Structure 1
C-alpha cells in the first residue's frame, strides 16, 4: 500500500539530538550499534522506526541484502524474521501504511541510515539500510533517517551477501534486539 502525495525535498541536514536506537547485532558481526535518528529532516520515518522498535517488531529481523562497498539492508518486519522463509525477505513492510518521501540534502556517507523503498519514492515502510561507503547517486532520492554514532565496526563486520543483488546466502546476521534509548 502506498500513500500518495508530492515528494518532499528540503535543504536541511540531520541535526544532533534526535531519538536514538540501539541495535544489537548477532552473527558474523556481534555487538551494539547506536543510531541517532534525524527527526528534523524525516519526522514521519523517525516516528515509524521508534514505533516499530518500541513494539519489538525489529527484534529477530535479519540483514537480508548486504552489498560490499555499498550497504547492509534490514527491517522487513513482515518477511525478514530469523527462521522464516528467507526467499521473501526484503519484500515486506509492517502493518502500517507506506510513508511519503522526506528527501533532504543530507548525503549518503558511511554510517548514514536510509529508508529502503520500491521504485515509488513514497513507498518506504519499515526497511532501512546502513551505508558502508559513500553513495552520492542516492542523494536526494532516498530518505535519510539517521546515522550511526557508535558501533560502525560492528556494521562493517555484517555478513556480506553473495547471492543475486546482494542477497545473503546461508545464515544471515540478525538484529537480535532493537530498543529506543531516548525519545
Structure 2
C-alpha cells in the first residue's frame, strides 16, 4: 500500500467523536401529534398542481390571443405594403412616359411657332393690294377732279367678294 492508500485512523476517530457530540436542533412544535398520514400533503400538492394547471391554461390562452393579434397586424401591414408597391409601380410607368410626351409636345409647339412665324413673315413681305372703287376715287379727287387735301381722311376698306358680309372694325 502506498501512502495515499493508507487511511489515517486518528483523523477518522476525531471526526466520529465530533459527530457524536454535536447537539441536535430542537424541532418546532406544529401542534400535531408528530405523525404524518400523507393524505393531507397529497391533497395540498393536488390543489397546488390544479392551480398551476389553471394558470398555465390562462397563460396559454393569453399567448394565443396575443399571437393571433400579431399575425393579423402583420397580415394588414403586408397587404398595405403590397398595395403601396402596386401604386408606386403604376406611378413609375406614368413617370417613365412623361419625357416622351414632353418631347412630343415641345416638337408640336415649336413646329406651330415656326409655321406662325413664317406665315407672319410672308404676310409682312407682301402687302395686300388696295383697290379703290369709283366712288372712293371721286371722293379723293373732289368735284373738279383735283386732289382735295382739305377733305377729311378716308377710311379704306378692302373690297368684299359678292355675298360676303361687311366686317366692323373695333
Bigger Rg, which one: 2
- Same fold flag (TM > 0.5): no
The answer to which structure, 1 or 2, has the higher relative contact order (CA under 8 A, 6+ apart) is 1
**TM bracket (short chain):** under 0.3
Name the structure with the higher strand share: 1
TM-score, with structure 2 as normaliser: 0.13
TM-score, structure 1 as length reference = 0.12
